[in-house]
Amino acid sequence: MRALIFDLDGTLVDSVYPHTLAWQRSLLDFGLSCSAWAIHRRIGMSGKLLVKTIAREQHRRLSASDIEKLGRHHAQLFHKLAPIGIPLPGAVRLLAFLRKSKIPHGIATSGKHAEIKSSLKSLSLRPATIVIDGDMVSEVKPEPDLFLLCQQSLNVKRADCLVVGDAIWDIHAARRSGIQSVGLLSGGFGEQELYNAGAMRVYRDANALHQAINELGFE
Amino acid sequence: MRALIFDLDGTLVDSVYPHTLAWQRSLLDFGLSCSAWAIHRRIGMSGKLLVKTIAREQHRRLSASDIEKLGRHHAQLFHKLAPIGIPLPGAVRLLAFLRKSKIPHGIATSGKHAEIKSSLKSLSLRPATIVIDGDMVSEVKPEPDLFLLCQQSLNVKRADCLVVGDAIWDIHAARRSGIQSVGLLSGGFGEQELYNAGAMRVYRDANALHQAINELGFE
């Protein structure tokens, strides 16, 4: 194992719960009511697929312009609920350790550039850190494009990369990219859900992953 | 099977996620930072035990007055995040069905009387509905007192009652009361977590439970 590719929300920053409530409220303002837990389980996939899934359950069809408006409304509500990024336990220290140990690593997130600024800022990243966001590919998770672009930018073979994510959609996208993955509980998915999706291993959070870094094959 | 005892938050009303963020913020204002998912997994137990658990993890000790202040602060923030109660899918219809079918049922929640008013209102309960709240017993979940008082008020043998809850703490409290239980996913716990805790069966939400009511032994 030579390189790590991280998801952002729920993996490095504590943003899944405000994202959940922001989607619930923006959907409600659009006449679509959905339980918070059922939104929570869709966080991490593309916003477009999330709202399409929920509209389909309720036998509603949304136009492309509806979907765009919903996305903008969600972004505004999210910013109100979570005005500053809060790193998850161990995330900042793990990233600093990887830099010091010269272990190649990057971030690959479905989030759009403008929406992830405060999260990235909270992680004390160096300008050279590779960040692949939702504006840089045509299809985000659960499609594999984000992880593949990150892997190519890191210039490390797929077999030597490991994806770290908190959502089923990270694990699915990793499988489809041909990159192995581990799950973290810090986004609120259940352990068994992540194993069922295909995670090789599930840890509590970035801190626990840091402690276990050697058992994953990193020297 | 003759009677049903319901938990409230996450089982009948969609309040677990605002409770999670309200606890996270009130703890943060007290200098205790805790990830949202780790709070989420403690929702449904007594607020006192929740804050004690989190303080212990961070090697802090809280006085009884600290714990009370935290609880009040949480209640205020929760009311701002969730000013009205929102029933979970199928909850209102299930309760109406039980009344019509004359199946004895009650609600047993760790929440205090003043905090659960808007949730109860959203469920269109009749005044005669038995509601056991956190002010009526000395110890709430995971202690069995709430469920036992509800069972006695329903005047149905423990062996003929079934607890319905969304949290590990409901399932634990039910086990300790000698009453069997089923879990619902509508509070955001994982299916396997609820089975591991001891649930006989796990359903998606109140709507799915309603569809399955005969397979549980209700005529």
Please indicate if any CB of chain A lies within 8 Å of the CB of B40: yes
Which residues of B are less than 8 Å from A37 in CB distance?
10, 16-17, 185-188
List beta partners, residue B183. Answer: B165, B202
- Whether residues A53 and A128 share a domain: the answer is no
Pick from A27, A48, A81: which residue ends a domain? Answer: A81
- Whether residues A30 and A113 share a domain: the answer is no
Task: Kindly report whether the global pTM for this prediction surpasses the value 0.95.
Answer: yes
Are residues B17 and A16, on separate chains, in Cβ contact within 8 Å? no
- Whether residues A127 and A170 share a domain: the answer is yes
ipTM above 0.90, yes or no: yes
* Residue B4, pLDDT score: 98
Which residues of B are less than 8 Å from A24 in CB distance?
17
- Whether residues B24 and B95 share a domain: the answer is no
Are residues A35 and B190, on separate chains, in Cβ contact within 8 Å? no
Question: Torsion angle, CA of B81/B85/B86/B90, rounded to 10 degrees?
Answer: 150
CATH code of residue B70:
1.10.150.240
Which residues of A are less than 8 Å from B87 in CB distance?
none
Pick from B49, B81, B113: which residue ends a domain? Answer: B81
What distances in angstroms separate CA A10 from CA A18, A81, A119, B51, B69, one per listed residue? 11, 16, 11, 22, 29
Residue B187 has, within 13 A of its CA and on its CB side, a CA count of 30
- Whether residues B132 and B26 share a domain: the answer is no
Using pLDDT thresholds of 50, 70 and 90, give the confidence band for residue A55: very high
CATH code of residue A131:
3.40.50.1000
Note down the domain range covering B168. 3-15+85-216
- Whether residues B108 and B29 share a domain: the answer is no
* Residue A102, pLDDT score: 97
Give the contacts of A108 (CB within 8 A, at least 6 positions apart): A5, A6, A7, A131, A132, A146, A147, A149, A150, A163
The Cα–Cα gap between B67 and B69 comes to: 5
Q: Are A164 and A6 in contact (CB under 8 A)?
A: yes
pLDDT digits (tens, 9 = 90+) for B116-145: 999 999 999 999 999 999 999 999 999 999
Q: What is the mean pLDDT of each run of 10 residues along chain B (219 residues)?
A: 98 98 96 96 95 94 95 96 96 98 98 94 96 97 98 98 98 98 98 98 98 96
Which residues of A are less than 8 Å from B186 in CB distance?
35, 37
- Whether residues B51 and B94 share a domain: the answer is no
What rounded mean pLDDT belongs to chain A?
97
* Residue B176, pLDDT score: 98
- Whether residues A178 and A99 share a domain: the answer is yes
Side chain identity at residue B195, one-letter code: Y
Please indicate if any CB of chain A lies within 8 Å of the CB of B20: yes
